[in-house]
Amino acid sequence: MDRTAKFFGRDRFAALAGIRLVEVAPGRAVAEMEVSDHHFNAVDVVHGGAIFTLADFAFAAASNSHGQVALAINASISYFHPARGRKLTAEATEVSANNRLASYNVDVFDDEQKLVARFSGMVYRKKEKIGL
């Protein structure tokens, strides 16, 4: 986890959103976000963009966990329930991969372990290794 964690520690947008990488292994990552007042939308539920950002960060960590630069070429999200509690957890898992393309699912859970959203994404793997 050290190399990938160090690399993603440089993600300034994730830091601004309050996201931290909890776990990373080849093809897998877990990230958490402490929910703060600035994460809520006008109807007082966690903003879909905040949930998407958390899922996207876990997706990025999982897809780059092999040490090769992987960039998103497609992503979508479905929202199932409003988030409850003060912490969201995103669990990213590799579904399919080859030398150039890989697909991932990311499930986002709230404090009650309720599935809040599912994110699906695909990356293109470049020849370059992730840099530190």
Question: How many alpha carbons lie under 13 Å from residue 9 in its C-beta half-sphere?
Answer: 10
* Domain boundary assignment for the chain: 2-129
Mean of the pLDDT values across residues 18-34?
96
Class of domain 2-129: alpha beta
CA neighbor of 55 nearest in space, from 71, 31, 78: 31
Distance of CA 31 to the CA centre of its chain: 6
Tell me what the mean pLDDT of segment 2-18 comes to: 85
Tokens of 130: 């992730």
User: Does pTM top 0.85 for this prediction?
Assistant: yes
User: Is the model's pLDDT at 118 over the cut of 90?
Assistant: yes
Tell me the pLDDT tens digit for each residue of 60-92.
999 999 999 999 999 999 999 999 889 999 999
CA distances from 126 to 72, 80, 102 (A): 11, 33, 11
